[in-house]
Structure 1
Amino acid sequence: MEIKLLNLQTKQVIAKEVKVAYRFWSRFKGLMLTKNMPDNLALHISPCPSIHTFFMRYPIDVLYLNNRKEIVGTEESLVPGKIGKRFSKTESVIELPAGRIKDTSTTVGQTVAFIETRK
């Protein structure tokens, strides 16, 4: 099974492959020490109210989601070594390749869905 990330308002696929970090160690590690992030990949971290980019080598885009998968905040091209913003009601975070938010016209107030597909 693969999981893709879909913007429910625009019907656009934001990421063709979503990796999940739902356990302590996978949330703790996140994207630290990885060399790059493929264009169609996303990392969903839950529960997670905020993130940092310490020990990362590249910038990322970030979607902050509430419990209904509505986007309550975004950050574009968050560079390595920074602490992400905090947005009220954030329950999970999606990390994306830098530029993906702009490329997909994703904005605060939109809702995303995780769609399971068979390979």
Structure 2
Amino acid sequence: MTHRFPVRVYYEDTDFGGIVYYANYLKFIERGRSEWVREMGIDQLAMKRDDGVVFAVRRVEADYHAPAVYDDELVVTTTVDTMTGARLIVRQTVERGDDVLFSALVTLVAINDAGGVARLPAAFRRNIH
């Protein structure tokens, strides 16, 4: 399953050099993951309320391949790489047309209210497969 999320580059996304500021790619992929989960029908507020579980980013391996600039139309793609009982690893890219500008391998963990490791809720695991 591949999720695609469109992003337009606004002036506020750029740096002094007129290109997308490097940290904003992390924001773009966060939005992509949030919309992916939403489109699966998972309500993260309900997951927190009902299951006491939230997601936390544990690790990001990122590569910057080429710059994006003001007014570019980009697409964030998200695909599942690996899933265990409490961990999810996703591959994400930010693309402009056929060009990959940014790629990342993101490790997410499920944590409980006390900050300890928790199992991914069953509804979430069902929607991944």
Per the shorter chain, which TM-score range?
under 0.3
Higher strand fraction: Structure 1 or Structure 2? 2
Higher helix fraction: Structure 1 or Structure 2? 2
Greater relative contact order structure (CA < 8 Å, 6+ sep): 1
TM-score normalised per structure 2: 0.25
TM-score normalised per structure 1: 0.27
